[in-house]
Amino acid sequence: MIKQYKLAEIAVQDILNRDIREEHDVEAVVDEIMAKVRVDGDAALLEYEQRFDKAQLEALQVSEAEIAEAVASLDADFIRTLELARDNIWRFHSQQVPKNFVLTEEGGIVLGQKYTAVERAGLYVPGGTASYPSSVLMNAVPAKLAGVSEIVMTTPPNAEGKIAAPILAAAKVAGVDKIFKVGGAQAIAALAYGTESVPKVDKIVGPGNIFVATAKRKVFGLVDIDMIAGPSEILVLADDSCNPAYVAADMLSQAEHDKLATAVLITTSQALADAVSVELERQLALLPRQEIARASIENNGKIIVADDLAAAVAAANIIAPEHLEVCVDEPFALLDSIRNAGSIFLGKNVPEALGDYWAGPNHTLPTSGTARFSSPLSVDDFVKKSSFIYYPKPALAEVAGRIENFAEREGLQAHARSVAIRFEEVAK
């Protein structure tokens, strides 16, 4: 049974489950894996795939024949669904493509900024208890729009050495260039260091378990990463006009991800709180992934009753959830007051799954309260910007004295000299 609270009786910052520590020593395991991959390359990857995924692989890279076989095994309607979802994601993210700018100043001065895509991006797609072709689309499409030259995907195989057909089909639809049968921390190490088969990348994106998240944190600085993703979260804000069956279904849509996932309802109605509690029990019994969802709901789930919507929104801003559903009659009236959320779902007919698969905004979102300072995955994640400066000599002459003075105040005589020397007669 899910726990109920009054908002005034609970520490808001502790509402979501933010403790993702494991009992075993994750750090030591990841360190060992990464060190071995760095030294032994493909041999280490093949060994770890046999150990962790029970797959005896002859080759790490997925062949074109395997991709074609996977696509052919799926019905045409699902392939069309992937294509339409890709198009929606492309349409939304195309608005994010940055534009270079140039400022032309008096005296012939030119200043500007230009954007350049990273050369090679690594996309990690988790396996485990579910298959996530949606993650392939959400990560690959913005990389394509940014102009990334090569997208390299890693994902763990099953014991037969196969990758789930929907994942391969999504990779084909999204334009992924290379796919490798490797998962876990070893995949992150391969992408960061490079092996005989897996090329070294400039940025690694995509969610994973605690071993993947730890490995990403450890390689940050050698390569860039998107974020350190924790367990999935949903926070539903609802008033007394909501259908409790809808609210319960939306909470369970996240609870079924992971036993560590968190689903929370904050409502202004005690009657709705009680009805949702009953609905959760009814719907849990219908789920194939009932064991996972029930552990999430019972250990981490909460229903909280607030005095009014203003108090509920204030709590949401402190929590900074990954997914925030605003299930009220006038959701746009609250939009400006919401400051911290990964993705905001407005209205009673906007389930979180709409964002996961179809609408267009990215579903790779900040978790664990990091929506206070970070953003969903976007085209921006795959580009870097460089500024540029041009000064003709007369323009430099006008400011030379001030630059020299500035440098001398910092005690950097060579800096000052690099300006002054351009106005001295220097023997050739």
Which region holds residue 229: left if phi is over 0, alpha if psi is between -120 and 50, else beta?
beta
Q: Which residues pair with 350 in a beta bridge?
A: none
3-state DSSP call for residue 24? coil
Greatest C-alpha distance within the chain: 90
Query: Which residue, 183, 190, 223, is CA-closest to 207?
Result: 183
Residue 257: active-site member: no
Active-site option among 322, 325, 352, 363: 322
DSSP string covering 83-150: HHHHHHHHHHHGGG----EEEEPTTS-EEEEEEEE-SEEEEE---TTS--HHHHHHHHHHHHHHT-SE
Active-site option among 279, 323, 325, 352: 323
Residue 363: active-site member: no
Q: Is 145 exposed, middle or buried (0-12, 13-18, 19+ CB in 10 A)?
A: buried
Q: Cα 387 to the chain's mean position, in Å?
A: 27
Q: Name residue 404's amino acid.
A: E
Q: Is 282 exposed, middle or buried (0-12, 13-18, 19+ CB in 10 A)?
A: exposed
Residues 158-162: contacts with CB within 8 Å, 24+ apart?
Answer: 158/53, 158/55, 158/127, 159/53, 159/54, 159/55, 160/55, 161/55, 161/56, 161/57, 161/58, 162/66
DSSP string covering 233-274: EEEEEE-TTS-HHHHHHHHHHHHTT-TT-EEEEEES-HHHHH
3-state DSSP call for residue 369? coil
Q: Cα 174 to the chain's mean position, in Å?
A: 17
Answer yes or no: are the C-beta atoms of 205 and 225 closer than 8 Å: yes
Query: Which residue, 199, 150, 203, 157, is CA-closest to 177?
Result: 150
The residues annotated with a catalytic role in the active site are: 322-323
